[in-house]
Amino acid sequence: MTRKDILEKTIREMPNMFTSNEFTQRAILNGLPRPRKNCGLGEFIELHAVNEYRGSKTWNKKQVIKHDIEVLELNEKSCIDFLKLKGYKILKPINQFEEV
């Protein structure tokens, strides 16, 4: 298992709120060699969690937005159908010319 695999597994296992120390301990249990200072764990955590207060070691996981439909092909018709499904009305401009 690579370092990246271990860290990704660890972040998935963490609760929504965790500390840097808890993350490090769990990563070690998952097979990460004991990290040195400035080994990049903080940067990895920042990609996947938010630190609300500067200087705090407490992190909140970033929420992943799940879509309720899967768009296989992104084209105008599928976009319009998706928006209509969500309750939007789609209007298009029409120019008409009248004979004088």
> Domain limits at 7?
3-61
What pLDDT, in 10s, does the model give residues 13-24? 999 999 988 999
9 occurs within a structural domain: yes
Q: How far apart are CA 85 and CA 79, in angstroms?
A: 10
pLDDT at res. 69: 54
pLDDT at res. 86: 86
15 occurs within a structural domain: yes
What pLDDT, in 10s, does the model give residues 31-70? 988 877 767 888 888 888 988 777 778 899 887 666 555 5
91 occurs within a structural domain: no
Q: What domain count does the chain have?
A: 1
Q: Is the pLDDT of residue 77 over 70?
A: yes
88 occurs within a structural domain: no
Between these two residues, 64 and 30, which has the higher pLDDT value? 30
From residue 30, alpha-carbon distances to 18, 25, 26 in Å are: 16, 9, 6
69 occurs within a structural domain: no
pLDDT at res. 71: 47
87 occurs within a structural domain: no
24 occurs within a structural domain: yes
52 occurs within a structural domain: yes
